[in-house]
Chain A
Amino acid sequence: MFDRNYKEKSIESVLFSVSALTVIILFLICLFLFRDGLLLFKATSLLDFLTGKFWYPTSVNRQFGLLPLFFGSLLVTAGAILFAVPLGIASAIYISEIAHPKVADFLKPFIEILAGIPSVVFGFFGLVILVPFVRTTFNLPTGQTALTGSIMLGIMALPTIITISEDAISSVPSTLKQGSLALGATRWQTIYKVIIPAALSGISAAVMLGMGRAIGETMTVMMVTGNTAIIPSFPGGILDPVRTMTATIALEMGEVPQGSAHFHALFAVGSVLFIITFLINLLADSIKKRYRFKVD
């Protein structure tokens, strides 16, 4: 009896340590990211960093202004969301409410495969197919634009938006659907007047998480957006090259001397990125929890 108890306890503690490891790793990443990021403020002030309009990390009058990179990320992400949200929600509605179960079972694995494609492969596709297409369609000097990045990121965010929205829509109790149909509503009226409103919290969470996915994506945007660190104009800037926060870190990290102000500036950009994605995830999570549909 004592032996069995002992065994139970030791298994429990092993499993606990493994799950605690995740928390510890996250904590350590935060610690090192912020520690090196904060050292930037020896060289420049927080205000100059957050409101600076120029990112000239290597010129004589070096400037570490976040805004060009921040707006680059914002523009590309916003474009991606505008592109991905209608498509994603429409697909989710189709799969969960309209498609024959056999069709839905056929479609779902493809969506999962889309989620599993490495981002560099998306980048290749974008570079070879989409970049020339955007250039010739809009008659631009280069096809490497924010729009190109938006479309690619939109495609990459689709699986997240589709699967989570579909989950939310399918978890609306079928009694609500039946109640609506029994009142003489058509299937479409039932979908847009009862099912979608009831699933809205889950759908908003899906959009938030898709946004988190888009804003943190690096390789693909780096390959298709042209990487010009200038504050984009709005909305015409969608057809100009931009540079995102992620691409900046990936491009420059290999070439900075360790411990330099530039090195710390990249960590500071990383910290900002971390905070943004953390907040987005937190928001998505709280929306999901707060408005989760009560099924008894």
Chain B
Amino acid sequence: MTEAVQNVAQPQIEVENLNLWYGEKQALKDISMHIPKNSVTALIGPSGCGKSTFIRCLNRMNDLIKNCRIEGKISIEGKDIYGTGVDVVDLRKQVGMVFQKPNPFPMSIYDNIAYGPRIHGVTKKGLDGVVEGALRSAAIWDETSDRLKSPALSLSGGQQQRLCIARTLAVKPEIILFDEPCSALDPISTSRIEELIMNLKKDYTIVIVTHNMQQAARISDHTGFFLMGELIEFGQTRQIFQNPKEQSTEDYITGRFG
């Protein structure tokens, strides 16, 4: 779908002709996409369309899956992330990820946030500042500042998800991938996360997979529609939702299937 490639200024992530197989089954077919810096890009599509698989290529989480084979090229800031000599640890520092279900570690709130900085060598002295900064950026400082030592699992689901966002921010990534971050949350928690994502756009490039089309319409600048492993359409969110070029995009957005 090369015609779906957008010519946007300063693409931070460039995906060219990406194909992916799980064993014999092809899960992504010839995906090309340019994702601009400091924007929110939403990926929508029915279950099993490959949008989560795609996002997991961007921080190489698919490396964990045996029998997963990738062809094509993904560059971040001009550097091929599947090229030789790429350190996955460095890549994942640069490209953070927030998961579908909140997954705080079974340790204190403080230790959850400090986990990333510690493994990347931030010393004890600097740690308090990093933790506070991350919690503030994730808009959860006010709720946790008086109980940093209590277990992270004592927080509510929505708070846990914001904690996971804070944990990701603490590593100081440039790009944050969100894999359906609100699917396990109630509407109020969801709106807080959406607000947060829109604020984070100033400093980070955000790619979000979502089942929720209203969410994509509300928070994203660009939207990509996936169907059966193909990127059917990619463009300005307004254009995709108001004036889709493809019939199947329109069918999906208007709720005829999905």
Contacts and interface: CB of A to CB of B under 8 A. Distances in A.
A183 B171 contact: yes
Contacts, number: 65
Interface in A171-218: 173, 175-176, 178-186, 189, 193-194, 197-198
**Which of A178, A184, A197 counts the most chain B CB atoms within 10 A?**
A184
B105 A184 contact: no
Interface residues of B, number: 27
Nearest to A173: B103
Majority-rule SS of A interface residues = helix
B103 A178 contact: yes
Contacts of B91: 184
A183 B119 contact: yes
A293 interface: yes
Contacts of A179: 99, 103-105, 164, 167
Contacts of A176: 103, 105-106
Contact of A189 (B93, B107, B119): B119
A196 to B, nearest CB: 11
Contacts of A194: 105, 115
A189 B103 CA distance: 17
**Which of A173, A180, A183 counts the most chain B CB atoms within 10 A?**
A183
B209 to A, nearest CB: 14
A294 interface: yes
Nearest to A194: B105
Given A179-B164, A294-B153, A184 B92 contact: yes
Interface string B135-168: 0000000000000000001000000000010011
Contacts of A183: 92-93, 96, 115-116, 119, 167-168, 171
Contacts of B197: none
B52 to A, nearest CB: 12
B122 interface: no
B218 interface: no
B107 A182 contact: no
B86 interface: no
A197 B107 contact: yes
Contacts of A185: 89, 115-116, 119
A184 B116 contact: yes
B115 A180 contact: yes
Contacts of B96: 182-183
Contact of A181 (B92, B105, B120, B153): B92
Nearest to B116: A183
Question: In the complex, which range does the number of interface residues on chain A fall in?
Answer: 20 to 34
Contacts of A178: 61, 64, 99, 103
A184 B119 contact: yes
Given A178-B99, A179-B103, A198-B105, A193 B92 contact: no
A197 B61 contact: no
A225 to B, nearest CB: 41
A178 B99 CA distance: 9
A70 B107 CA distance: 39
Interface string A262-296: 00000000000000000000000000000001100
Interface in B55-96: 59, 61, 64, 66, 89-93, 96
A194 B167 CA distance: 14
B61 A181 contact: yes
A181 B105 CA distance: 12
Interface string A148-191: 00000000000000000000000001011011111111100100
Nearest to B104: A179
Nearest to B170: A183
A173 B99 CA distance: 13
B29 interface: no
B67 to A, nearest CB: 11
Contacts of A186: 89, 119
Contacts of B206: none
A293 B103 CA distance: 13
B35 interface: no
Contacts of A189: 119
Contact of A193 (B115, B153, B164, B168): B115
Given A179-B103, A185-B115, 13 more contacts: A173-B103, A178-B99, A179-B104, A182-B96, A183-B92, A183-B93, A183-B167, A184-B91, A184-B92, A184-B120, A189-B119, A197-B106, A197-B107
27 contacts: A173-B103, A175-B101, A175-B103, A176-B103, A178-B64, A179-B99, A179-B103, A179-B105, A179-B167, A180-B115, A181-B92, A182-B92, A183-B93, A183-B167, A183-B168, A183-B171, A184-B89, A184-B90, A184-B91, A185-B119, A186-B89, A189-B119, A193-B115, A194-B115, A197-B106, A197-B107, A293-B106
Interface of B: 59, 61, 64, 66, 89-93, 96-97, 99, 101, 103-107, 115-116, 119-120, 153, 164, 167-168, 171
7 smallest CB-CB distances across A and B, nearest first, come from A184-B93, A182-B97, A175-B103, A183-B116, A184-B92, A179-B103, A184-B89
